[in-house]
């Protein structure tokens, strides 16, 4: 970290309700969207760590209602956990640190949008599940997250990204990107484009079920990647669900589908050795077991019946998002190498094939739970 960045973080910290002496800071993540820094302060003789994070307002165009959602959801989670007599609350739910003016964000002189959280200590995240036990913990964590929010009215939250998981609209945008081919990449991605177009019959499965009233709208996370669950260093227990920027009204099936996408293969999201990419049944079984156990209080039989197809559909949806961004010139997802989004797309599409091949066995297992 250079001197300018350090000075900027010191200045940012003074804008939040942190009464301590700035000690040190370092960058901990350069994600697809935001930048994240861990910052330590001395408060009453002890070190307390916080997260200062920028919010990419070119992606999240309505940051103020987004942070309103985050604040409302974290306070609701912490209240429900307290009712359950949960211990170690600051490791089980994020705590938003308010700015000096009482808002859950600060906008600096350059117009950058900042927010601050208490650092969650003694936890670790993984890019991919390493064991069935970890998959089980992910299912428990996201299912418990949904359960804690099941009494929060979806209509009370802002829709921060309209149609975020609307696969039909994602498909339409992909089709437009193919037709325009502004950066002349359609030829390179011809095989992926053909696969994407061939899956169109799957596009409306959840949308139609919701339109028929078979599955309800709830408060959902909408970005349930495995690395958004923090696991205890020592016990491996799931402690905290993070990255709440997309918490808003949605379908729980979107969340479970993304869990299948990111938790049932021991490969990274941008894995390039596609022979390694497949859905591993032991990982799926433990993921589903944990999820169903923690959602029994509210999950309907109809929602349960769509869990498997949701895995294929959301994996496909993320795949066409990567493909669309590749065809449009890599404007949404942060890329670190040439054709990075195309590599991400190829990984997702290989997973879709694997899920569809194993769909019947997966469904029999879910039905047994």
pLDDT in tens, 117-131: 999 999 999 988 999
Distance CA 116, CA 22 (A): 14
Residue bearing tokens 């099941």: 150
> How does pLDDT run across 139-154, given as a tens digit for each residue?
999 999 999 999 999 9
Architecture of domain 3-121: 2-Layer Sandwich (3.30)
pLDDT of 338 above 70: yes
Question: DSSP for 226-240?
Answer: GGGEEEETTT--EEE
Residues facing residue 123 across a β-bridge = 232
pLDDT at residue 206 greater than cutoff 90: yes
Structure confidence at residue 33 (pLDDT): 59
Q: Half-sphere exposure of 220 toward its Cβ, with a 13 Å CA cutoff? A: 22
Collapsing DSSP to helix, strand or coil, 176 comes out as helix
3-class secondary-structure state, position 273: coil
Q: Provide CB contacts within 8 A for 317, sequence distance 6+.
A: 165, 167, 170, 257
Q: CATH for 132-368?
A: 3.90.1200.10
Residues of the chain with CATH 3.90.1200.10: 132-368
pLDDT tier, 71 (very low <50, low <70, confident <90, very high otherwise): very high
Q: Provide, for the chain, the percentages of residues in helix, strand and coil under a 3-state DSSP scheme, each rounded to the nearest 5.
A: 50, 15, 35
Strands 113-118 and 46-55: antiparallel
The top-scoring range by mean pLDDT among 64-73, 160-169, 265-274, 330-339 is 64-73
Q: DSSP label at 17?
A: S
Virtual CA dihedral for 109, 3, 33, 253, nearest 10 degrees?
-110
**Other residues' Cβ atoms within 10 Å of the Cβ of residue 264:** 31
Residue 334 has what pLDDT? Answer: 84
Provide the pLDDT for residue 29: 61
* Predicted pLDDT of residue 46: 94
For 1-48, write each residue's pLDDT tens digit. 778 888 899 999 999 999 999 999 999 864 555 789 999 999 999 999
Q: Positive or negative, the Cα torsion across 144, 145, 146, 148?
A: positive
By the 8 A CB rule, do 124 and 233 touch?
A: yes
Residue range(s) occupied by CATH 3.30.200.20 in the chain: 3-121
Per-residue pLDDT at 205 exceeds 70: yes
* Cα dihedral across residues 74, 78, 84, 90: positive or negative: positive
The predicted model gives 185-200 an average pLDDT of 98
Over residues 155-182, mean pLDDT: 96
């Amino acid at each position: 970290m250079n001197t300018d960045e350090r000075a900027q973080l010191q200045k940012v910290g003074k804008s939040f309700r942190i009464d301590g002496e700035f000690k040190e800071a370092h960058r901990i993540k350069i994600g697809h969207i935001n930048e994240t820094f861990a910052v330590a302060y001395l408060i009453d003789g002890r070190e307390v760590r916080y997260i200062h994070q920028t919010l990419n307002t070119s992606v999240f165009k309505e940051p103020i209602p987004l942070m309103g959602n985050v604040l409302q959801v974290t306070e609701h989670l912490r209240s429900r956990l307290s009712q359950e007599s949960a211990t170690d609350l600051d490791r089980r739910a994020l705590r938003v640190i308010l700015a000096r003016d009482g808002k859950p964000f600060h906008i600096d002189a350059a117009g950058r949008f900042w927010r601050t959280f208490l650092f969650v200590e003694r936890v670790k995240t993984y890019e991919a599940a390493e064991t069935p036990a970890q998959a089980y913990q992910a299912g428990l964590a996201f299912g418990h997250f949904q359960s804690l929010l099941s009494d929060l009215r979806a209509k009370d939250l802002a829709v921060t990204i309209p149609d975020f998981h609307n696969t039909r609209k994602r498909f339409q945008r992909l089709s437009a990107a193919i037709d325009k081919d502004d950066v002349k990449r359609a030829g390179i991605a011809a095989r992926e484009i053909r696969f994407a177009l061939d899956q169109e019959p799957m596009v409306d499965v959840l949308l139609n079920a919701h339109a028929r009233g078979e599955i309800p709208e709830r408060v959902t996370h909408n970005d349930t990647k495995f690395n958004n669950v923090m696991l205890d260093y020592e016990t491996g227990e799931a402690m905290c669900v993070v990255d709440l920027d997309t918490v808003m009204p949605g379908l729980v099936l979107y969340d479970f589908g993304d869990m299948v996408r990111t938790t049932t293969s021991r490969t990274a999201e941008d894995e390039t050795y596609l022979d390694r990419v497949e859905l591993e049944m032991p990982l799926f079984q433990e993921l589903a077991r944990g999820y169903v156990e923690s959602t029994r209080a509210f999950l309907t039989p109809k929602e349960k019946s769509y869990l498997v197809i949701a895995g294929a559909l959301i994996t496909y949806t993320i795949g066409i998002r990567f493909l669309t961004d590749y065809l449009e010139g890599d404007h949404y997802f942060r890329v670190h190498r040439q054709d990075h989004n195309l590599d991400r797309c190829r990984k997702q599409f290989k997973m879709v094939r694997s899920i569809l091949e194993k769909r019947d066995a997966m469904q029999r297992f879910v039905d047994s739970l």
